[in-house]
Amino acid sequence: MTYMRKISILYFLIILSAMNICIAEEKKNREEAEKFEIIINQSIVGKLGFGHNAAGGYYFIEDTKNQQYNFGYVWDFNDEELKTINHLLDNEVFLNVKGNVKKWGDGTIEIIRDKDFLIKRHIEPEQKNTISFSEIRYNMNEGMTELQFKEYVKKLKGKRVKWSGWVEEVDEKFLGGYKVLVDMDSPNQPISVQDITFEVSKEQALRLKKNEKITFEGTISSILNIMSSLQISLEEVKIVQ
């Protein structure tokens, strides 16, 4: 056997050995990734996010420590559920999820949507009564630049507030239902327009009177600056008096 042939055989054996090591390592990694443990009674507070992987588009919840919990693929939800999920996603609402999770060997964590699964909007107690309408209006008109106000508004969406104002108008919505337009300034003001809008039932709509002062609790869904006039829409509103 020539010297060059010996070298070629040795080189082949080295490559073969390296390939076997790589295959064994890949098999080990795959087996590790397929292992999982169930962690029960988890409480997660975070925002919805959306991502893609080889399987397709999926939703996840990212907590305050940037840990992602996979929530499900697009095809796991029906049209009505997707509508709600995308609304929460667009409005960057904080959610509180309670239930069991599956932690895979590769570090991926998956929320198990079983009978113990519970999800609801997260409302911190300190959020109530800490944001005043006048503060938001001041920041829009004087306290902040336009860019600063846009970033400020993003943080206000999903916040729970309790305010008082005067009924400017009650009207029927174009696609059905009823809405209340509330002026946060007294009817004695010479020039003022409605500032707050929210939906009410027909029973509530018929009961409300023009220029009546009401107190209400609701969640901020949108804030707009329309020709230097602050327009805020609320959802999940409860008229308390």
Distance CA 39, CA 209 (A): 53
Residue pLDDT tens, the chain, 241 long: 565 665 666 666 677 666 666 665 666 555 554 576 777 788 888 888 888 888 889 998 888 778 889 988 998 888 888 888 887 777 677 788 888 888 887 778 888 887 777 887 766 554 444 688 888 988 898 888 989 999 999 999 999 999 999 999 999 888 888 999 999 988 877 777 889 999 999 999 999 999 999 999 999 999 998 888 899 999 999 998 6
- Write down the pLDDT at residue 170: 93
Q: What angle do CA 97, 99, 102 make, to 5 degrees?
A: 110
Q: Quote the pLDDT of residue 127.
A: 46
On whether the pTM is more than 0.75, the answer is no
Alpha-carbon gap, residue 60 to 5, rounded angstroms: 57
CATH 2.40.50 residue ranges for the chain? 37-122, 126-239
| pLDDT for the residue numbered 34 | 58
> Cα(134)–Cα(136) distance, rounded to whole angstroms?
5
Check if the beta carbon of residue 202 is closer than 8 Å to that of residue 208.
Answer: no
What is the CATH T-level fold of the domain 37-122, as seen in this structure? OB fold (Dihydrolipoamide Acetyltransferase, E2P) (2.40.50)
Q: What is the pLDDT of residue 84?
A: 83
Residue 194 confidence (pLDDT): 86
What pLDDT does 130 receive?
66
| Whole-Å CA distances, 21 to 32, 90, 105, 132 | 16, 47, 21, 65
Cα 195 → chain centroid:
25
126-239 — its CATH code?
2.40.50
Quote the pLDDT of residue 33: 46
